[in-house]
């Protein structure tokens, strides 16, 4: 079989699988499960780079393959899945359609640009990246679940518009030429803790929880 199947790419594959499951749950009307899948994809993405770098004897092909599949998975996990969730919330064809198109398009542009710059950077240095240009697309896996948890504080009629409005803001930040500092190990740990708490919250409010 073509491709690579060692432990350095397993989290990327799991992230994509979680997103696909989330998209199917949007079709089934299970919004909490879809949001949970978005969050799980985000957790996988937090650690896939660290796992990959743990393998010191990676070939150049393995490194380039990792860059490519990470971005290909990210556009589905943090672009297409949020677009499906946002559009499904109200089927308001104006804002819902615009926000869905923008978050996927801007995510695609950002990831393509990142790939070009990352390949160039890795040819010139072996140092770990310290900052990003533009907001990382994976941010949607934290911002949107937090917004979902706060929906009880937003009027039902306004919630779809608020959610889709946040999608538009995120999309613009994806391609805005701003410097975003890469998270430290402590920051990643805090994000993981927050993610764990969110999972417990989703489990509590899930329609499948009795």
User: What's the rounded Cα separation, in Å, for the pair 147 and 163?
Assistant: 7
Among 8-12, 119-123, 195-199, 201-205, the range of highest mean pLDDT: 8-12
pLDDT, mean of residues 145-158: 86
Report percent pLDDT > 90 for the chain: 38
pLDDT-derived band at 125, boundaries 50, 70, 90: low
User: What's the rounded Cα separation, in Å, for the pair 140 and 144?
Assistant: 6
> Which has the higher per-residue pLDDT, 125 or 36?
36
pLDDT, mean of residues 90-118: 87
**Averaged confidence pLDDT in the chain:** 84
User: What's the rounded Cα separation, in Å, for the pair 33 and 155?
Assistant: 21
Cβ-Cβ contacts under 8 Å for 169 (sequence gap 6 or more): none
> Which has the higher per-residue pLDDT, 93 or 156?
156
171-to-2, 83, 102, 117 alpha-carbon distances in Å: 33, 11, 6, 20
Structural domains in the chain, CATH included, are 10-205 (1.20.120)
pLDDT, mean of residues 93-111: 91
Least confidently predicted of 50-54, 77-81, 104-108, 166-170: 50-54
Angle at CA of residue 155, ends 154 and 159, nearest 5°? 70
* Residue 13: predicted pLDDT: 94
State the DSSP code for 182. Answer: P
Cβ-Cβ contacts under 8 Å for 208 (sequence gap 6 or more): 33
Cβ-Cβ contacts under 8 Å for 129 (sequence gap 6 or more): 118, 121, 182
């Amino acid at each position: 079989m073509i491709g690579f199947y060692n432990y350095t790419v397993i989290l990327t594959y799991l992230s994509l699988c979680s997103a696909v499951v989330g998209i199917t749950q949007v079709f089934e009307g299970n919004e909490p499960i879809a949001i949970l899948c978005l969050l799980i994809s985000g957790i996988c993405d937090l650690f896939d780079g660290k796992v990959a770098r743990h393998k010191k004897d990676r070939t150049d092909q393995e490194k380039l393959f990792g860059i490519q599949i990470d971005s290909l998975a990210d556009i589905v996990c943090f672009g297409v899945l949020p677009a499906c969730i946002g559009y499904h919330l109200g089927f308001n064809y104006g804002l819902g359609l615009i926000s869905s198109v923008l978050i996927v398009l801007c995510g695609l542009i950002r990831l393509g640009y990142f790939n070009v710059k990352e390949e160039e950077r890795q040819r010139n240095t072996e140092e770990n990246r310290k900052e990003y240009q533009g907001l990382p697309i994976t941010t949607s896996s934290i911002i949107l679940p937090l917004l979902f948890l706060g929906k009880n504080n937003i009027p039902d009629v306004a919630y779809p518009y608020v959610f889709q409005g946040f999608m538009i803001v995120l999309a613009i930040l994806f391609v805005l030429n701003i410097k975003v500092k890469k998270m430290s190990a402590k920051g990643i740990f805090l994000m993981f803790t927050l993610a764990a708490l969110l999972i417990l919250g989703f489990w509590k409010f899930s329609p499948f929880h009795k």
